[in-house]
Amino acid sequence: MMENVSVITMITLSGLNFPFWQRIIIFVLVLLCYLVILFNNLIIIVLIITDRKLHKPMYVFLCNLCVNALYGSVAFYPKLLADLLSSHVISVVGCMLQGYTIHTSIACDFSILALIAYDRYVALCRPLIYESFMTKQKVSLFIFVSWLLPTFCMVMNSMSLMSKKLCRSHIDRLYCVNLMISKLTCTPAKAYSIISLVNISFFFGIFWLIVYSYVHLIKMCIHSPQMWKKFRQTCTPHFICLLIYTITELVDLFYMRLGSGDLSVHLHNLMTMEFLIIPPIMNPLVYGLQLTHIRNKIFRFFHSKKKLQHF
């Protein structure tokens, strides 16, 4: 006689057990945060697309970084806003899709930041061949690969969980990630563990290539005041964004795998959300304020708006 086995189709998320009036306040704050992310990134994208002077490799890579921030935030903020006004549940398919999108966005962030580091390396260390090397065709190929590799890695990561049967239906987070989904499976997801290890090793290798590029750049520039000035002008924004990204990612990664269950729910939620809040807000601000051409373009845009208001 066959046993009745219930198939899990819905997953519950934790961390939103607040009184309704507190949920409304949090809803407003989250909505404001999401609008800031949309505004900051969209204004950089529009400026780069509409200004021919910004159709250069570094700015094109920056535009992709902002597009990726919008892509990643769509997977998190609308769902969180809906959960604040209703029950915080998600379908298994929706959970897999959210986890895939967030993971892909994180990986694409890293690969695009690696592209920007490589672009700065060629621009400062090989200035004579920069124009002939960083052609439109090569830039397009680099961008394609920077999106393709993370997408492929995360497709393999997510597919390793699709065939697994779930025996639990609660994730101790505000959103879905593959590691938490793997903990719901009835049997250990060995394929997922192996693929995750390969992916982490691959991106860790890219991280060390970025570190090597910067160490080489600093060695090349530190003895030349002119080159050091160029390094500070063009590399400082990228270095700050890379630092923000690395710190927020490491905090989340170590907490997710080694975190203590003794932390309060609110601190737990903050630590799991910070990489979805800080980089998407800070990256366009850092680049917009540090890169002279973008900063001047933004100031001229708002200055012209003020002039129009006087008429």
Each residue's pLDDT tens digit, 102-119:
989 988 988 898 888 888
* CB burial string 164-195: b at 16+ within 10 A, e below: bebeeeebebbbbbbbbbbebbeeebebbeeb
What is the pLDDT, as a whole number, of residue 126?
82
> At residue 299, what is the residue type?
F
Highest mean pLDDT among 152-156, 281-285, 301-305: 152-156
Residue ranges covered by each domain of the chain: 10-310
Higher pLDDT, 118 or 257: 118
Which residue type is seen at 117? A
CB hemisphere CA count around 230 (13 angstroms): 15
pTM: 0.84
CATH topology for 10-310?
Answer: Rhopdopsin 7-helix transmembrane proteins (1.20.1070)
Angle between helices 225-258 and 265-290 (to 10 degrees): 160
The confidence score (pLDDT) of residue 92 equals: 87
32 pLDDT more than 90: yes
What angle, rounded to 10 degrees, do the helices at 92-125 and 190-221 form? 20
- What pLDDT band is residue 69 in, cutting at 50, 70 and 90? very high
User: What phi and psi values does residue 222 have, to the nearest 5 degrees?
Assistant: -65, -25
pLDDT at 74: 92
